[in-house]
A = this chain, B = another copy of it.
């Protein structure tokens, strides 16, 4: 008796099998009670889970299914990157309204698997649920789990920043915040005009190359100010950011860079001077870690004011 869920599982299974097989580490994938993985000897295991919820993290009228699938996986891969790790396997739990078109699911999975293949990571399992409208919300709920590995003891934590360390970011910031602002203003944003927002590239290779270089690292998913505050809290330090040094994306404002979200760049600290480009990605020095706790932004004349950790509110009803 084929049930909708069973059909969905088979569909995801067949699409996943067409994707990257991960045969070095994945012993048993979709189709048993658990997936069986064989991590490399002498490596620690990294685990991250991230929701992608319609109405909170995306809107079907704003984001194509491919973009939702891509961004869903980016959230997880970016967390692996922020630990200096290498992704190993992906698990996707997907709850869908019963009346969702099969083509939406196929395109979502394709967006996710395209990014997975480029990072050589297999879709190894997950869970699915489908329900008539009215029981589940008329919304798509995805939970992505990414497993990764890092040489034993080499994971880059948020807690390693020390006074005097320099603060760096990869790429440019603010495109996420700016794009969301444009969409809230009613503008129909073409994916090609904001590719880094609709198809953000998790900085896995950069993260890996920062092992032994960075003292603390985090990915910028909630805006520079919020994510820097996490490093400060976990490390028991403070930070000064040089306003003129923050690499602001074209068409974005400084506020977008400091308080926007969904940029998926890396923010890290180091006692060393770091190259201006790593793995083809620009790296910019933007400030310094202080022993005094708190966060400040310093303008070109040397004047500082307090910087608040203003959070990223996603696509909340009533927001903005």
Query: Using a CB–CB distance below 8 Å, which chain A residues touch chain B?
Result: 1, 3, 6, 27-28, 31-39, 41, 44-51, 53, 55-56, 79-80, 82-83, 85, 89, 91, 93, 95, 124-129, 131-132, 134-137, 139, 141, 143, 145, 147-148, 150, 152, 155, 157-159, 217-219, 234, 308-311, 313, 316-318
Contacts and interface: CB of A to CB of B under 8 A. Distances in A.
A37 B47 contact: yes
Contacts of A55: 131, 135-136
A128 B129 CA distance: 19
A141 B141 CA distance: 9
A14 B271 CA distance: 32
A79 B34 CA distance: 6
Given A34-B85, A45-B36, A136-B137, A53 B310 contact: no
Contact of A127 (B51, B132, B308): B51
Nearest to A226: B1
Contacts of A317: 131-132, 134-135
Contact of A49 (B41, B93, B132): B93
A317 B80 CA distance: 39
A31 B147 CA distance: 17
Nearest to A48: B34
A34 B34 CA distance: 21
Given A32-B234, A36-B155, A132-B316, A1 B311 contact: yes
